[in-house]
Chains A and B, each alone.
Chain A
Amino acid sequence: MSPFLWQEIARLTGEHVVLVLVSMLIAAALGLPAGILLTRRPSFRPALLGFANVMQTIPSLALFGFLIPIPFIGGIGKRTAIVALVLYALLPILRNTLTGILGVEPAVRESAIAMGMTGRQLLWQVELPLAAPTILAGVRIATVTTIGTAAIAAAIGGGGLGVFIFRGIATVDTVQILAGAIPAALLALLAEGGFSWIERRFSVS
């Protein structure tokens, strides 16, 4: 293998990581507050969960394609790719935030309220810490999935390791395909490992 290939692997892996990180940060920044909101406003649940569910059912390649003609968020390039990845990552984060908080033992919640905790204290001192493992599991699933899905971003000019894969398919070049697939798989494993380390590190009960 040429040193040129190694260089390109490094560059596209970097792009891939940035794509995933930016998407995950945006998805978490949207999904966590939305999940918390859903615990307080049950009437919003069908609409928001329904939306996130539908987003997940659209095949990823199709979703990237749908976004291209849409103004502002669409077009060719990284921005469109990030929008699509965020839409995908939203559901696991949203759902796990909701189920994590709803899963807090009713007696614990009732005690917290009866002891005179304000709504904010209840959320930050009781609900979020107790829901943290479930929420973290949601972020973990979303991250690992996003690492895989991000490979398709190359189809709409989003860059990342998908560039190798699409090029390899087009030119029937196995080396190129593997140059994209192997680093992507390693990234996914790395993310898995990182999250399980965090889970072990912060597990209380």
Chain B
Amino acid sequence: MNTPATALEFRDVSYRIADNRILDRLSFRLEPGRTLVLLGRSGSGKTTALKMLNGLLEPTSGQVFVGERATGDWDLIELRRSIGYVIQEVGLFPHFTIGENVALVPRLKGWPAARIQSRVAELLHQVGLDPGNFLHRYPRQLSGGQRQRVGVARALAAEPKLLLFDEPFGALDPVTRLELQDQFLELRERLSITSIFVTHDVREALRLGTEIALLHRGRLEILATAADFLKSTGEEARAFLSTL
């Protein structure tokens, strides 16, 4: 099997709502297995960019490629089932047990029941939750940190090619956040799935990103490795680095 050299690409992507430019001619590409952090202030367009990858939003102009294909050429249902998605509010289904929540995408993809069952147990282990204890509980019975672990397990369930994280740890206390960041790094070591991670926390960006893209008012200010980002002299980059 030959892996494509590009996992995803933004080609001159703009997004406008009325006269408001949310994204302004964004272009970059990412190699497979890397973690790109989209860093920026609120309203910089980072979440908008993320949502274009799984077709929750469509570019006003330009193209977004996932694998070899532009998102417009994908069957959106198929595309989304091949992408893991984790958001700050987690969005677990309150009427599904933890097990059913994690099993969602495999079930939608029609995996056999036995395979789903073993996959769910394996995933809960991976994110540090004992399946015996958690499988049959409901989301409301879990703490915020536990819920977000379930959210990560759900995103990983159907062996996605791409993982999208939208400020997933933003609502957690600092200690839990650190734990989940460690877990993310550990999972990346093991699974090496291409990931996009949205955050406004420069510490988190430096810890998790193999590269960092800084967005400012819908434009890409810089795209650099974590080491190079630290040396960056741009005004917005300095503003972020000054918070360290």
Judged by DSSP, the binding face of B is mixed
Q: Is the CB of A108 within 8 A of B138?
A: no
Interface residues of B in 185-224 (CB under 8 A from A): none
Confirm or deny: B128 has a beta carbon within 8 angstroms of a beta carbon on chain A.
Answer: no
Size of A's binding interface in residues, CB under 8 A: 18
A-chain residues with CB within 8 Å of residue B94 when the two chains form the complex = 105, 108, 130, 204-205
Q: Is the CB of B91 within 8 A of A205?
A: no
A115 in contact with B108 given A204-B138, A205-B138 (CB within 8 Å): yes
Q: Is the CB of A205 within 8 A of B108?
A: no
Interface residues of A in 103-121 (CB under 8 A from B): 105, 107-108, 110-118, 121
Confirm or deny: A126 has a beta carbon within 8 angstroms of a beta carbon on chain B.
Answer: yes
A108 to B101, CA, bound (A): 11
Chain B residue at minimal CB-CB distance from A132: B95
A101 to B77, CA, bound (A): 22
B-chain residues with CB within 8 Å of residue A110 when the two chains form the complex = 56, 87, 91
Q: Report the minimum CB–CB distance from A43 to chain B (whole Å).
A: 19
A121 to B79, CA, bound (A): 16
B-chain residues with CB within 8 Å of residue A118 when the two chains form the complex = 77
Taking a contact as CB atoms closer than 8 A, the residue among B77, B79, B83, B92 that contacts A111 in the complex is: B92
A205 in contact with B140 given A114-B80, A115-B80, A130-B94 (CB within 8 Å): yes
Judged by DSSP, the binding face of A is helix
Bin chain B's interface residue count: 20 to 34
B-chain residues with CB within 8 Å of residue A204 when the two chains form the complex = 94-95, 138
A-chain residues with CB within 8 Å of residue B79 when the two chains form the complex = 116
Q: Is the CB of A108 within 8 A of B108?
A: no
A110 to B92, CA, bound (A): 10
Chain A residue at minimal CB-CB distance from B80: A116
A110 to B56, CA, bound (A): 8
Q: Is the CB of A108 within 8 A of B93?
A: yes
Confirm or deny: B30 has a beta carbon within 8 angstroms of a beta carbon on chain A.
Answer: no
A126 in contact with B80 given A115-B104, A115-B105, A116-B105 (CB within 8 Å): no
B85-103 vs A, CB cutoff 8 Å, 1 = contact: the mask equals 1010111111100000000
B38-70 vs A, CB cutoff 8 Å, 1 = contact: the mask equals 000000000000000010100000000000000
A-chain residues with CB within 8 Å of residue B81 when the two chains form the complex = 115-116
Confirm or deny: A194 has a beta carbon within 8 angstroms of a beta carbon on chain B.
Answer: no
Q: Is the CB of A112 within 8 A of B77?
A: no
Q: Report the minimum CB–CB distance from A85 to chain B (whole Å).
A: 33
A152 to B9, CA, bound (A): 68
Q: Report the minimum CB–CB distance from B232 to chain A (whole Å).
A: 32
Q: Is the CB of B105 within 8 A of A107?
A: no
13 A-B pairs whose Cβ atoms sit less than 8 Å apart in the complex: A105-B89, A107-B89, A108-B92, A110-B91, A111-B90, A111-B92, A116-B76, A116-B79, A116-B80, A116-B81, A130-B93, A205-B94, A205-B95
- Further contacts, 17 of them, CB under 8 A, given A107-B87, A130-B93, A205-B95: A105-B89, A105-B91, A105-B94, A110-B56, A111-B92, A113-B56, A113-B80, A114-B85, A115-B81, A115-B105, A115-B108, A116-B76, A116-B78, A116-B79, A117-B108, A118-B77, A204-B138
